[in-house]
Amino acid sequence: MSATLTPGTLRGVKPATATRPVEKRWERLAPYGYVAPFYVLFLVFGLFPLLFTFYVALFDWNPIGDKTFVGLENFRLLAEDPRFWNALRNTFSIWIISTVPQLIIALILAQVLNSAFLRFANFFRMAMLLPYITSVAATAIVFAQIFNRDYGLLNWFLELLGFEHIDFMSSAAGSHVLISVMVIWRWFGYNTLLYLASLQAVPRDLYEAAAVDGAGPVKQFFHITLPSLRPVIVFTVIMSTIGGLQIFTEPLLLSNGTLTCGTARQCQTLSLFLFEQGFGSFKFGYGSAVGVALFAIIVVVAFVNFLLSSRLGRKG
Amino acid sequence: MATTIDPRRQDDLRPPAPRTRRRRGIVRVRWYTYLVLALAAAACIFPVYWMFVVSSVGSEAATQLPPRVVPGGNFLDLLRLVFETVPFVRSLINSFIVAALIAVGQAFLCSLAGFAFAKMTFRGRDALFLVLVLTMTVPAQLAVIPQYMIMSQLGWVDTLQALVVPGLVSAFGIFWMRQHISATISDELLQAARMDGANSWQIFARIAFPVVRPAAAVLGLLGFVNAWNDFLWPFIVLKSPDMYTAQIAIKALQSNISVDLGLAMAGSFLVTIPLLVMFAFFGKQMVSGIMDGAFKG
């Protein structure tokens, strides 16, 4: 069967010869109409605002619309602004503390969930997706309470073990840990399911052959599992980079809704700093400069991560 | 070749391949397998369960040590107080409107575009699809300032369409529906329809969409969940308490110092209930939906 693939026709399907010319033209345009809504919305609410951020960053711009061109002045101020460097440090710290354990936990759990003859498999999968369907706003209050200095469950437990109470939100390290715990809680199950889906597609014969050749579970993990999961690992690493570096809601809500995330800005992330400048101090230009800087950082880090994670499990 | 649609497949979201995968599983079940999984499941469930415990007792349960794990009977009383403190009914209705419209929009528009990418040939298709995949990596959130300026130009600040319109269709959803349509609908079936004189819209509406409706429904559910839980954008664009979505309302409730902790927890739990109900009915489908959307080796 040799169907001619003309524009606007169904794949492998000859257009009915009876169609009239007008109808034919509509049929040719139809697929563009079907995909158009996405591209229109993305242009208006995604790409254009992103490009416009670069433009606004060159101005002193307030919400009423008064603007003065200042060139790269906003970026010079940004480079000298200790609040920016502080936010950058916090962002990276929270991103690393939350991403690395999250993906390792997910990898281990996916391996365990992939066990042969596992009972209650559906229950475990559903349980792990539960955090994903709850909102940050609703669960932030629970986490704040569990980690509370005086009456928190965790500090009660630490006391039982003979440790001192920890005031998590008052220090940089503590607040970063608390924020990361919440991020890990929300996302590890989701990533587990992605890894599990990939694991199930690995042919079992590979493992059987490896076992025959005398490869133990650890060797199998590094020589079969990890290389097979490479595409999904690259995907999750890139996605948690893009998401993690833009983190906003967790630090905001765990610090009672303060844009500085604590009096000493101990957990203010770049997104919070952007928001504070743009919508707290109404400096649209300076806030956009933060956005541009964050964009550049995300592009570089995502690219480096892509290079690193695509080497995973590849020998030599 | 006869092109009948396998009726089983309509209720099953998985593409046909997994059928042969019954003998999956490499690692043997060991004694610690269930221990590890039970700990992980408990960690996932406990915060949500404990939110309910505090909501059903009152603030004293939040500070009680050792922790209280048995629910009390005050949930409805606390809820009544929540409704008296903030315009919560209005917020819940707003959230329902936004999330439902986004769910319907995504289920329909993503299926339609996914159909075009999977089953139609047109100039620039592959390039457009590559662009679509790349847009998933665009960190759009850092453009909030111009996004706000656009909404302000459109006169949409403090309106619900500012939340609905940008969320009506997503790159992820199109990608996902394309996978499903490619995997479940045969070219022969479409060819038969085309021979009968059906145009592409009729083929989509009468053949393709009915077959992938379960997948579209799961996509709609995921869209509902994300829209219901969204915080940052509504937080920026909604100004008056009457326009608040449920998430913004509980933030207002939580940061009000005069509001007691039990009350704030009750509000937070209330906002979670619709999702828990949905999850109880369709959780299994959502799990397989997420797993089907994943990369497979």
- Give one DSSP letter per residue of A160-171, joined into a string: HTTPPP--GGGS
Residue B140 lies in domain: 89-245
Flag whether A14 is in a domain: no
Residue count (chain B) = 297
Domain count, chain B: 1
Q: Verify that A260 and A180 share a domain, yes or no.
A: yes
* Model pLDDT, residue A249: 95
Question: Is the pLDDT reported for residue A26 higher than 50?
Answer: yes
Please give the DSSP secondary-structure letter assigned to residue B166.
G
B105/chain A closest Cα distance in angstroms: 10
Average pLDDT over residues A48-60: 96
DSSP-assigned letters across all residues of A235-288: HHHHHHHHHHTT--HHHHHHTTT-TTSSTT-TT--HHHHHHIIIIIS--HHHHH
Percentage of chain A beyond pLDDT 70 is 92
Q: Verify that A57 and A116 share a domain, yes or no.
A: no
Mention every residue, 6+ apart, whose C-beta is less than 8 A from residue A56. A284, A285, A288, B145, B146, B149
Q: Verify that A172 and A44 share a domain, yes or no.
A: no
Flag whether A65 is in a domain: yes
Residue A33 lies in domain: 21-73
* Model pLDDT, residue B18: 42
B214/chain A closest Cα distance in angstroms: 18
* CATH number of domain containing A233: 1.10.3720.10
Please give the structure tokens belonging to residue A159.
Answer: 């006391």
Flag whether B294 is in a domain: no
Flag whether A176 is in a domain: yes
Q: Verify that A269 and A197 share a domain, yes or no.
A: yes
Flag whether B12 is in a domain: no
* Model pLDDT, residue B295: 58
pLDDT tens for A79-128 read 999 999 999 999 999 999 999 999 999 999 998 898 878 889 999 999 99
Question: Is the pLDDT reported for residue A213 higher than 80?
Answer: yes
Question: Is the pLDDT reported for residue B25 higher than 60?
Answer: no
Do residue A130 and residue B44 have CB atoms under 8 angstroms apart? yes
Number of neighbouring beta carbons within 10 Å of residue A308: 11
Flag whether B156 is in a domain: yes
**Which band of pLDDT confidence, cut at 50, 70 and 90, is reported for residue B8?**
very low
Flag whether B155 is in a domain: yes
Average pLDDT over residues B111-129: 95
Number of neighbouring beta carbons within 10 Å of residue B290: 21
Structure-model confidence comparison of residues B28 and A10, the more confident one = B28
Flag whether A2 is in a domain: no
Q: Is A9 helix (H, G, I), strand (E, B) or coil?
A: strand
Structure-model confidence comparison of residues A1 and B280, the more confident one = B280
- Name residue B108's amino acid: F
Q: What is the dihedral of CA B95, A145, A242, A113, to 10 degrees?
A: -90
What CA–CA distance (Å, rounded) separates B11 from B217? 11
Q: Verify that A115 and A245 share a domain, yes or no.
A: yes
Q: Verify that A60 and A134 share a domain, yes or no.
A: no
* Model pLDDT, residue B3: 41
Structure-model confidence comparison of residues A11 and A121, the more confident one = A121
**Which band of pLDDT confidence, cut at 50, 70 and 90, is reported for residue B135?**
very high
Question: Is the pLDDT reported for residue B14 higher than 50?
Answer: no
* Model pLDDT, residue B194: 87
**Which band of pLDDT confidence, cut at 50, 70 and 90, is reported for residue A12?**
low
* CATH number of domain containing B183: 1.10.3720.10
What CA–CA distance (Å, rounded) separates B271 from A234? 34
Q: What ipTM does this complex have?
A: 0.87
Do residue A37 and residue B113 have CB atoms under 8 angstroms apart? yes
Flag whether B199 is in a domain: yes
What CA–CA distance (Å, rounded) separates A212 from A209? 5
Give the residue from B1, B13, B23, B26 with the most A CB atoms within 10 Å of its CB, the best one to mutate: B26
Q: Verify that A201 and A303 share a domain, yes or no.
A: yes
Do residue B191 and residue A6 have CB atoms under 8 angstroms apart? no
What CA–CA distance (Å, rounded) separates B91 from B267? 11
Nearest CB to A193; choose among B139, B170, B291: B291
Flag whether B123 is in a domain: yes
Q: Verify that A88 and A41 share a domain, yes or no.
A: no
Give the residue from A29, A55, A60, A115 with the most B CB atoms within 10 Å of its CB, the best one to mutate: A115
Residues in chain A within 8 Å Cβ distance of B119: 10-11
**Which band of pLDDT confidence, cut at 50, 70 and 90, is reported for residue B126?**
very high
Highest mean pLDDT among A21-30, A211-220, B52-61: B52-61
Q: Verify that A130 and A254 share a domain, yes or no.
A: yes
Residue A68 is inside which H or E element, if any? strand A67-69
Backbone angles phi, psi at A17, to 5 degrees: -70, -20
Number of neighbouring beta carbons within 10 Å of residue B198: 18
Q: Verify that A278 and A188 share a domain, yes or no.
A: yes
Name the average pLDDT for chain B: 87
Average pLDDT over residues B173-191: 91
Question: Is the pLDDT reported for residue B296 higher than 70?
Answer: no
Name the average pLDDT for chain A: 89
Question: Is the pLDDT reported for residue A281 higher than 70?
Answer: yes
* Model pLDDT, residue A189: 96
The answer to whether the beta carbons of residues B7 and B210 sit under 8 Å apart is: no
* Model pLDDT, residue A19: 52
pLDDT tens for A132-183 read 999 999 999 999 999 988 888 888 888 899 888 889 988 999 999 999 999 9
Flag whether A1 is in a domain: no
* Model pLDDT, residue A27: 85
Q: Verify that A65 and A164 share a domain, yes or no.
A: no
Mention every residue, 6+ apart, whose C-beta is less than 8 A from residue B234. B163, B244, B245, B247, B248
What CA–CA distance (Å, rounded) separates A272 from A147? 22
Domain count, chain A: 2
Please give the structure tokens belonging to residue A173.
Answer: 């390290």
Question: Is the pLDDT reported for residue B232 higher than 90?
Answer: yes
Q: Verify that A190 and A138 share a domain, yes or no.
A: yes
Average pLDDT over residues A260-264: 90
Flag whether B269 is in a domain: no
Flag whether A116 is in a domain: yes
Question: Is the pLDDT reported for residue B197 higher than 90?
Answer: no
Do residue B44 and residue A256 have CB atoms under 8 angstroms apart? no
Nearest CB to B197; choose among A18, A26, A139: A18
What CA–CA distance (Å, rounded) separates A199 from B57? 43
- Between strands B120-121 and A9-10, the pairing is antiparallel
Flag whether B282 is in a domain: no
